A and B are shown apart, each in its own frame.
Chain A
Amino acid sequence: MITSAIIPKPLARLPWRLIFLVTGIAGFGLIVLYSAAGGSVRPWAMKQSIVFLGFLCIAVSMSWMRESTIKAIAFPLYGVTLMMLIGVEALGFVSKGAQRWLDLGPIRLQPSEFMKPAIVLTLARFYELVPPAEIRKWRAIWPAMALLGVPAFLILVQPDLGTCIMVMLCGVTVMFLAGLPWWIFAAPAGAVAVAAPIVYSMMHGYQRKRIDVFLDPESDPLGAGYHIAQSKIAIGSGGIWGKGFLHGSQSHLQYLPEGHTDFVFATMSEEWGLVGGVLLILAFAMVIRWGMRVSSRAPSRFGQLAAAGLSATIFFYVSINLMMVMGLAPVVGVPLPLVSFGGSAVMTVMLCLGLLMALERQQRTVSRLI
């Protein structure tokens, strides 16, 4: 039993359940990375654990931020990120190649990652400023569309389809929760549904083939469908209980491409089976539910919208990745946060969680552990 007598008050006031949950997910991810490297902490697990711990500390320290501070930095953060996106684009133009990274000496920044929380905070801030009576008016809609559209376009042309979709979905979620009229969302969805078959019929052969391969990866198992086909084999052959730790043949014999990054869930499922997969999905669900509850309990409109948007960011990360890995979505290059090797996703998710913890801290006066 942890009591306030043993643990200092600031520590005790941390949302320990969330921290345990997140550490649990990351720890499981490290085990999977250890196996993916053929039973070695190198080259991935060791590095990943340091990155995770670093960002966990950042997230925890962010939890002392005030809501007013977050509100205050929302627009500047968006502005700086947008400038960086333009900078990346310019750099890419100069070097005549695709560019996603901003090289700042020792660290390389991927500004599009920052855009995910930034767009959420900005739109939350924007809709807080919009008077309730104005919400269904055009002037409440077009600025949000511009705020969302410009960075989404910049990311799309990098090209980084996965991040672009993520940013769009996060922004749209905030707009949806802000109470914009239904037709704003229904009309484009309807337009896409109507246009898709027409566009498909007008496509070139190779473009159609890509769509066909996505819809039926087995039709091209050695080409474009290879990733999805191998990933499905890994998940399907894992069965209920998995092949056992360090016994995944798909990943260890390198049939599964990107088994430590985007397709890490397949690596995990092969060894831990359906049980491991369901546990991981449930763990993520609990993290997202925690975030959604922060949102619904938030006293301010900004807090509500920001918390929901940040939780949605995590949700979209997880669900797009899993749908991609299981062959329900095209391969767009979205990693599984906290599990996939790589710092960017960890950073984004931990920034979101840090902001969520800060918003949550405002809602209570006592530690949950007591």
Chain B
Amino acid sequence: MKHMRITTAHQSITFSRRMMILGGAQAAVGGLLIGRMGWLAIAQNEKYNLLSESNRVQLIPVPPRRGWIIDRNGKPMAINKASFRVDLIPQQIVNGPHIISELQRLMNLPPDEVERITRELAQSRGFQPVSVADNVPYEQYAAITVRLPDLPGVAASQGFTRFYPGGPTVGQLVGYVGAASAAEYEKENKNPLLLIPGVKIGKEGLEQTLESTLRGEPGGQRVEVTAHGKLVKELDPKPDRSGGTVQLTIDSDLHEYAARRIGEQSAAVVVIDVTSGDILAMPSMPSFDPNNFSDGISKNEWKMLSGDDHLPLVDKALESLYPSGSTIKPSMAMALLNAGIDRTQRVNCTGSYPLGNHVFHCDRRHGPVDMDAAVVHSCDIYFYDMCRRVGAEKLAPMIRSMGFGEKFDLPIGNQRFGTVPDPQWMERKYHREWQTYDTINMSIGQGMVLINPLQLAVMASRLATGKRVVPRLLKSQPVQPQAQLEVDQDHLTFIRKAMWGVVDHGTAAGAKLPLDGIQMAGKTGTAQTHRLSASERGNYTAALWKLRDHSLFMGFVPFDNPRYAAATIVEHGGFGAAVAAPLIRDTFLFLYDKPKAMAALQNFEQSIGGTPEERLARKTASWRAANGLPPLPAKQA
């Protein structure tokens, strides 16, 4: 060994000592690393295995088939049609404008649609596909499929489209489906099902209110995907469960017939089977074609619908309120009888009825009328006078028990139920005292009296049966037991007779059923919306449509053994006898003699310019022309 100076030796010792410290530190770090790895791989293995699996396996939801809506006889009202569809996946698009113009060329897309696609693409959330077209014809689908490699971001797939065989006639009742909006997606806690192209949820009507039944349970295709979303392989799938079928009480043939019979008018018809309360038909026209809505409606189509003064987007059977007009009179007569009025007592109708400094009118001079004549010929003066004697407090309960102002539990949102006024209500609502002229207005269903067409049909049902008929729309709902109304059978018989008189020799004498042995009973109504001069009232074509009176009719058949009740309110239709009564007559006719009814419908439609499809097409074309838009390309089969 070489001799070392003390400082060198000291340094050597320091070095050895520090080498040991360094070596120890290194060993400690090594131990720490092995320990850490053991912790991750053994103690937390289960947790990380789970995370690794959830990375590896993704569930692609397979949308369930939407449940059907069928009518009382099992006839489909809303079903699914196999269809081809084309979507755009915003994330994968390379050259957006080029792809859209290619798609426009290949698929004959109208400019409206191109505009919608461009707009939705700009607003899309990246991963959420934008629908190019539903229900694509096979030739176009094939043309897209072969060009897919040149069209990055385009996805062509097979799916199902909602199909409504009834078209526009069921629009209001059944509603429509559409792709979920961002708000709906958030509301359902970001349900991934709603993001799948082609998945439609109920947006209106029964489709919306029965969503939970109709939707079903999504299945799933379990797939192995990379971090970039590329599919590697498919694993065993989880089956889906189709939505449940909903059966309605509607008779779709009758419903469609009534809808077509409404023609160009803005009206709702309600037909009720009085034995069960089943609503057999409840069309509201004009309407929209829900088949168009399920494909995604264009901005122009929407504009056309929302700008229409016939309100095709409103369900007039349940969402609109009207004065009842004279259709209230049979019930009012019941109330008078109940209050002890002698039905043979006469009131002299001079055509006018002064009250204070105001004069109330009748449509003509009826002379001395008893109760029967007052109902049959719809004399207002009789009811002014008699109701004034009895007073509103005694009248209103009877009117309410007949269905006016009553709320019905139907699976339709936005129902409005109207009012039957009385002094207490007036105090509550307007903080003023009930006046005699309020009674006079109420006596003929004007003023504060507001009803919807369903309530009018219920009133007809209750007058027909003397029982508390409760309407029902879903077959699955139990039939409500029909309690006897608190009315005198003798009074009821008298009123039915009077309503038969209305059709036999009264205001609706022109609307007799052309059937042997089956006769209709009913009551016409003409509800004022604006004050028209006598000359205008006599010549309706002179008055603006918007200013004309509503035309109402309610009735039941057969008058001697009632089975069906119906009511209609035709907006601005004019005299109840002229428009509403024949409409109900033909609707009843369809229930008893289909060929005769169809012949009547054909005559009627010829007089107004063809079938609803032809008329809608013409209307669309003229609207587009008036708004400076090019005509739509012919629809391909």
Contacts and interface: CB of A to CB of B under 8 A. Distances in A.
Interface of A: 131-133, 135, 173, 176-179, 230, 232-240, 249-250, 253-255, 269, 273-274, 277-278, 281, 285, 288, 292, 295-296, 301, 304, 308, 312, 315, 319, 322-323, 326, 328
B55 to A, nearest CB: 5
Nearest to A132: B7
Contact of B22 (A234, A301, A312): A312
Interface in B38-63: 38, 40-42, 44-45, 47-49, 51-52, 55-56
A269 B39 CA distance: 13
Given A232-B48, A255-B55, A176 B18 contact: yes
Nearest to A304: B15
B91 interface: no
A249 B55 contact: yes
B7 A133 contact: yes
Contact of B51 (A233, A285, A326): A233
B7 A326 contact: no
Given A249-B55, A253-B225, A281-B30, A239 B7 contact: no
B10 interface: yes
A250 B30 contact: no
A274 B228 CA distance: 28
Closest 7 CB pairs of A and B: A236-B48, A237-B52, A132-B7, A179-B14, A274-B41, A236-B40, A249-B56
A132 B8 contact: yes
A236 B226 CA distance: 19
Contacts of B5: 132
Contact of B34 (A177, A278, A295, A296): A278
A89 B264 CA distance: 83
Most buried by A among B27, B34, B48, B225: B48
Given A274-B38, A277-B34, A323-B29, 19 more contacts: A132-B11, A135-B11, A179-B18, A233-B55, A235-B40, A235-B41, A236-B44, A236-B48, A236-B49, A253-B55, A253-B232, A254-B228, A269-B37, A277-B41, A301-B11, A308-B19, A308-B22, A319-B29, A326-B36
Nearest to A312: B22
Contacts of B48: 232-237
A236 B41 contact: yes
A304 B22 CA distance: 13
B33 A281 contact: yes
B37 A233 contact: no
A253 B224 contact: yes
B523 to A, nearest CB: 69
Contacts of B7: 131-133
9 contacts: A132-B5, A135-B11, A179-B11, A234-B48, A236-B40, A239-B49, A253-B226, A269-B41, A296-B19
A273 to B, nearest CB: 6
B225 A232 contact: no
Interface of B: 5, 7-8, 10-11, 14-16, 18-19, 22-23, 26-27, 29-30, 32-34, 36-38, 40-42, 44-45, 47-49, 51-52, 55-56, 224-228, 232
Secondary structure dominating the interface of A: helix
Given A253-B225, A255-B227, A269-B41, A326 B55 contact: no
Given A250-B52, A255-B55, A235 B37 contact: yes
B15 A250 contact: no
Given A177-B15, A179-B15, A253-B225, A274 B42 contact: yes
A315 B10 CA distance: 27
A353 B618 CA distance: 90
Contacts of A301: 11, 15
A362 to B, nearest CB: 16
B15 A326 contact: no
A92 B19 CA distance: 40
Contacts of B19: 177, 292, 295-296, 308
Contacts of A322: 33
Contacts of A135: 11
Contacts of A281: 30, 33-34, 37
A285 B56 contact: no
B49 A173 contact: no
A159 to B, nearest CB: 26
A326 B39 CA distance: 10
A278 B5 CA distance: 45
B34 A233 contact: no
Contacts of B232: 253
B26 A315 contact: yes
B594 to A, nearest CB: 64
A236 B47 contact: yes
Contacts of A253: 55-56, 224-227, 232
B274 to A, nearest CB: 63
Contacts of A173: 22
B227 A288 contact: no
B23 A326 contact: no
A176 B24 CA distance: 14
Contacts of B29: 315, 319, 323
Contacts of B225: 253
Most buried by A among B18, B36, B52, B225: B52
A233 B240 CA distance: 32
A177 B33 contact: no
B22 A177 contact: yes
Contacts of A274: 37-38, 41-42
Nearest to B10: A132
Contacts of A304: 15
A143 to B, nearest CB: 18
Contacts of A237: 45, 48-49, 51-52
Contacts of A269: 37, 41
A233 B47 CA distance: 8
A273 B41 CA distance: 7
B15 to A, nearest CB: 6
Nearest to B5: A132
Contact of A176 (B22, B32, B55, B224): B22
Contacts of A308: 19, 22
Contacts of A131: 7
B436 to A, nearest CB: 74
Nearest to A305: B15
A25 B30 CA distance: 17
Contacts of A178: 15
Contacts of B30: 281, 285, 319
A236 B56 CA distance: 15
A274 B40 CA distance: 9
Nearest to A127: B11
Nearest to A249: B56
A312 B26 CA distance: 9
Contact of B52 (A249, A278, A328): A249
A117 B384 CA distance: 114
B12 to A, nearest CB: 9
B34 A250 contact: no
Nearest to B8: A132
Contacts of B33: 281, 319, 322-323, 326, 328
A274 B35 CA distance: 10
A132 B14 CA distance: 11
A227 to B, nearest CB: 12
Contacts of B23: 292
Contacts of B55: 230, 233, 249-250, 253, 255
A177 B22 CA distance: 8
Contacts of B45: 236-237, 239-240
Most buried by B among A178, A236, A308: A236
A328 B52 CA distance: 20
A278 B37 CA distance: 8
Most buried by B among A177, A240, A288, A296: A177
Nearest to A135: B11
Nearest to B2: A299
A312 B22 CA distance: 9
Contacts of A315: 26, 29
B49 to A, nearest CB: 5
